[in-house]
Amino acid sequence: MITESARGGIAGGLRAWRTRRRVSQLELAVRAGTTQRHVSFIESGRSAPGRSLIIRLAESLEVPIRERNELLLAAGFAPAYPHSDLDDPQLAPVRAALERVLRGHLPYPAVVVDRHGDLMSANAGFHAITRGVHPDLLTPPVSVPRVLLHPRGLAPRILNLDEWAWHIVDSVHAESLRNPSDRLQRLAEELVDLAPPRPRQLAPHHLGFAVPLHLRMNDPDNRELRLITTLTHFGTATDVTIAELRLEAFLPADEATSATLTDLVTR
């Protein structure tokens, strides 16, 4: 039997996620296959949803599976999704797949990060572009956004820092709003302090669809790279750890960048 406090917990949690996602009670009811009246009763604490309905409602609101477990716990149910350590032998196939992807992306940089942007794995291309970064920033846990924007990191070598920095800040801030985390919010605030003043308008560049990373290498020739980024995640993961991993891959925006990275990684 669900207690009154459990009803209150699920009511507040569901209402908060629905508000955050800007979804009406009617729209949520349609998505989850229930009625607006039932959703209203759940949010007011007058009705106690079953375990399967909580999962359907959470899925309909695209609640991250870590927080779906929290909603279940708030309602007095056991978590539905396991939370394994990445070193768990059961996740060996996932680790192997990620390493294959990282190697296959060479000579271009690629990293695997967790929900907070902490580095889980990287390929030789990423190590090449971060050569010269202060060792303190590369001591685990390594925050990739901090490495990019810290004055002892890549920031002094980013030629379009005013533009790129706010691309990073806005991405971290947006993630902290989509998937609330005190740690992410603190990181966003830290990055704002590291970033230069926000430009009034985007600088013109030859990429009409993305903000490139214009980076000067830490080598005697001061070669320059122009990179664009892509993000990939496990869309159907049922383990919390796997669901929160993201692959961030850098791609060359011109042939000169491709040739430089090939040379750097080969050497």
Token pair belonging to 105: 């992306």
Least confident of 95-104, 142-151, 219-228: 219-228
Q: Is the pLDDT of residue 3 over 90?
A: no
State the Cα–Cα distance between residues 33 and 11, nearest whole angstrom: 18
Query: Rounded to 5 degrees, what are φ and ψ at 245?
Result: -80, 145
Which residue bears the tokens 């004055």? Answer: 151
Q: Is the pLDDT of residue 2 over 80?
A: no
Average the pLDDT over 143-168 and give the result. Answer: 95
CA 135 to chain centre: 24
pLDDT for res 180: 82
Of the candidates 148, 143, 161, the one whose C-alpha atom is nearest the C-alpha of residue 211 is: 161
Strand ranges across the sheet with 213-216: 119-122, 110-113, 246-252, 224-233, 213-216
pLDDT for res 32: 95
Average pLDDT over the chain, rounded to whole? 90
Least confident of 81-90, 106-115, 187-196, 218-227: 218-227
- pLDDT tens, residue by residue, 125-155: 999 999 999 999 999 999 999 999 999 999 9
Average the pLDDT over 40-59 and give the result. Answer: 94
Average the pLDDT over 31-37 and give the result. Answer: 96
Is the CB of residue 82 less than 8 Å from the CB of residue 108? no
| pLDDT-derived band at 200, boundaries 50, 70, 90 | confident
Helix, strand or coil for residue 117?
coil
State the Cα–Cα distance between residues 263 and 147, nearest whole angstrom: 23
62: left (phi over 0), alpha (psi -120 to 50) or beta: left
pLDDT for res 234: 80
The more confident residue out of 221 and 69 is 69
| pLDDT-derived band at 207, boundaries 50, 70, 90 | very low
Token pair belonging to 151: 């004055």
Q: What percent of the chain has pLDDT over 70?
A: 93
| CATH topology agreement for domains 4-74 and 89-266 | no
Under CATH, which architecture does the 89-266 domain have? 2-Layer Sandwich (3.30)
State the Cα–Cα distance between residues 111 and 119, nearest whole angstrom: 7
pLDDT for res 132: 92
Domain extents for the chain? 4-74, 89-266
Q: Is the pLDDT of residue 164 over 60?
A: yes
| pLDDT-derived band at 85, boundaries 50, 70, 90 | very high
CATH of 4-74, one of 3.90.1170.40, 1.10.260.40, 2.40.160.60, 1.10.150.20: 1.10.260.40
Average the pLDDT over 156-161 and give the result. Answer: 95
Q: Is the pLDDT of residue 100 over 90?
A: yes
Token pair belonging to 32: 């989850």
pLDDT for res 8: 65
pLDDT for res 150: 97
Q: Is the pLDDT of residue 5 over 60?
A: no
Token pair belonging to 222: 């001061």
Enter the pTM of the model. Answer: 0.84
